Every structure is written in structure tokens, then in C-alpha cells.
Amino acid sequence: MKQTPGSTTPRATVATFSTVTMPAVSVANGAAPAAESSIDLPLFDISHESSELGREIVQAAAKHGFLWISGSPSSSSANDGDQGSYDLDAATVQNVFDIGSRFFKGASGAEKAACKITKNRGFVDMKVENLDPQSHARGDFKQCFNLAEPDPDTCAWRQPLPPQFSESAADAALRDFHARCRAVATRVLRLIALGLGIEDADWFVKSHEKSPYTVRMLYYPQLPAGTDYRADADIRAGAHSDYGSITLLFTRPGQPGLEILQDDGNWARVPISPPGYHDPDFPPIVVNIGDLLQFWTNGLLKSTVHRVVLVEEEQPLEQRPSASTAAALGTDRYSIAVFVQPADETVLVPVPSRAVSERAAAFQKVQIGSGGGSATAETLGQTTAGEHLLGRLRATYGIAVTG
């Protein structure tokens, strides 16, 4: 069920670490100033499943590579008695943001160092990642923590956790969030399969069942007075594309910064919510296509380059910082990205879809993704999902992913 931005009524329509850099990305204007124009993404309610909705989502993913899904019912759907099933709610999501904030702001240097990034799991400090070294000499101005799903057989976490995560209430909340995000991802993968006309709606789901998804908590801190951050040279997250199948992105009200690269080579801001969105406390979830799904569909679905820039908080003038704090740059920004990746042993063969197979011949030499470790469609078809992901991560972190 697609929702029109500006309306709440759903309607059916078609520690200290050295900087690690990645090989250059092919984004000529990765250091361009923050975009002046914005784009309202297509908005969908996926609480009900249908082939028609799947086709609409595929069309949006083919055009933009990004879309919004409602995380909560609109008042009109509730009044109509047409309220479907939703896997998340505002309180659940805010609680996970609060847990992340307590870690980023409260953990000691020793606690963070004890969880530093290994095998794509753990803590990444400021300026360690450089997603776009072609445009930026220094690493990204952000911190993050990659949390893989617990082992389904033992229920044990697959990595060391800081005290802020291992406390019993936080532990339970993080496990619950992982499970709920998997349910959302399953809905999206089924709808994409339906939209592509695949006979088995679980064709994608089956290859993802044994793969641990990664919840990446991100913190872009306000920069203090006297910071050496330079708007013409630095960035919060450099231009890149995501590696896996899809990404679910959760944002907070009043904390903008995401931009996507349009076909004309210009950047466009992605608002936190479309105009008139029905839930001010739980913005719509951003869904974007990753490199693997672009490959799987022979380029039908689009893995779009995106970045995060430093901009001021979206808030009324009377609520903005006073003159005494005006010297600080930007405001704290938090987001949570859930990376959905097929099982490592998945052989990357094209999906059984007529719309996909018709594109096969023309797609063989096409470059997949932007960033280190990217490949052509031809070479990707000779590898597995795990080999592809490892190549991209080695380019990002170096030996940290294997040791």
C-alpha cells in the first residue's frame, strides 16, 4: 500500500585507531557542499502484502534505490479498521537509540577499545573509516558500533559487548530489536520477490535465513568550538553504496543529514519525514538497495550512492542553541542502520525473474557499487555473498575484519 507524502491516508498506486582508507570511489562531487534541494521518497505501508504493492516497491527501488516504509499505522487506517501488522513501535526504537547513546557518551576509552572492530563487529572511533578518500583526506567524523545478531543455536552474542549493552534490560532490548528488524526485512524481501514476478515469494528470504544481520548504531557528535573540521574538506560519512541486499535505516526527528546522489550528478537531501507524516515520534524507516541486490537483479534495482553531511538541526528558531553555544558546530545526530546480507555460502546467481533475465547480456560488464572492493557483474557472478562482503570490508578496515 503506497502512501502519498503529505497525506496520512494510504492509497494504492502503482580507543585510538589509525585511519583506514578505501580505494577511490567514482564520485566526482563527493565533497560538494550540502544539497540545497530535497527529495521526497516514495512512501509505502507494508503491513499488508500483495503483488501490486510488490510491483510498486520494485518500481521505486528501480528509480531511486531508496524508499520509505511506515513503521506505525496512520490514524486513518486505524479508524477504517484496516490496521495491519507492524513489527516496530516508537518506544521500542527510541529505547535502542537510548542504549546506543549511553554507550557513545558514557563508555570509557578502555571499554570502547575492548570492543574495537574485528570481523566487522564492534566499535569504530572517529575518523577511522574513510568511505570516500577521493574526496576527503581524513576519515569520517562519526563513531559507530556494529552488533551482529546472536547465534541462533546458542543464543550467545558473537562478539564482546560493553557494559552498556550487556546489562540485562539492554541485552533483552537489543535481542528484541534484532528479531523485529529481521521480520521487517523479511516483509521487504518477500514484496520485492512478488514485484519481480518470482513464483516463490520466499526466494530471497531463504538465502538470508542463516545470515546474521548487523545492527550498526551511528553517532555523529556535535563538534566543539575550535574544532578543526572544515566543511570544504571533511564529512560525517563519505559517499558510498551499501554492500548487501537491503539496508533499513532508522533516524531521529530533527536530525537531518542524509543525501542521495541523483542521476544528474547532483545531491538531494532526504528529509526525516515527508510533509504531513502521521507519526512525529517515529519517522518512516528508510529502505535502500545494496550492491548485491543490484547484481542479483542485473541492475534492475538500484544501489544508490549516498552520504551524510553536517547540517543544522531541523527545529524552530526559538528552540535553537543560544548565542553562548553557537560556536559549536552542528548538533548530535544518531541513526541506526540494519544491514541485511545473504548467507556467506550463497552463490550469486541471477534471480528467476523474466524482468531480470532480459537484462543479463547488457549487464555483464557493469560496475557494481561505489567504494573499495567493488566489482563488475561478471566477476561477482563467480563468487559467493561472503566472498563479496569480505572483499568490501577488507577495503574499508584492512586486517581488522579477519583478525
Domains and CATH numbers, the chain: 43-72+85-312+327-397 (2.60.120.330)
The pLDDT, as a whole number, for residue 14 is 28
Residues contacting residue 398 through CB under 8 Å, at least 6 positions apart:
20
Reported as a single tens digit per residue, the pLDDT across 372-388 is 455 566 655 667 888 87
Quickly list H helices, 64-146: 75-79, 90-106, 109-113
Please tell me the pTM assigned to this model.
Answer: 0.87
User: Could you tell me which residues are beta bridge partners of residue 215?
Assistant: 147, 338
Buried b (16+ CB within 10 A) or exposed e, 45-73: bbbebeeebbbbbbbbbbebbbbbbbbbb
Round to whole Å and give the CA distance between 12 and 43.
Answer: 11
Strands 333-340 and 246-251: antiparallel
Task: Quickly tell me which residue has 563487529 as its cell.
Answer: 121
Number of other residues whose CB lies within 10 A of the CB of residue 328: 15
* Cβ–Cβ < 8 Å for 371, 25: yes
Round to whole Å and give the CA distance between 250 and 69.
Answer: 11
Round to whole Å and give the CA distance between 137 and 177.
Answer: 36
The pLDDT, as a whole number, for residue 143 is 98
Round to whole Å and give the CA distance between 362 and 379.
Answer: 14
Round to whole Å and give the CA distance between 268 and 360.
Answer: 30
Round to whole Å and give the CA distance between 99 and 145.
Answer: 12
Residues contacting residue 7 through CB under 8 Å, at least 6 positions apart:
276
CA dihedral 169, 122, 269, 184 (to 10 degrees): -50
Low-confidence stretches of the chain (pLDDT < 70) are 1-26, 76-83, 312-326, 365, 367-382, 392, 395-403
The pLDDT, as a whole number, for residue 21 is 34
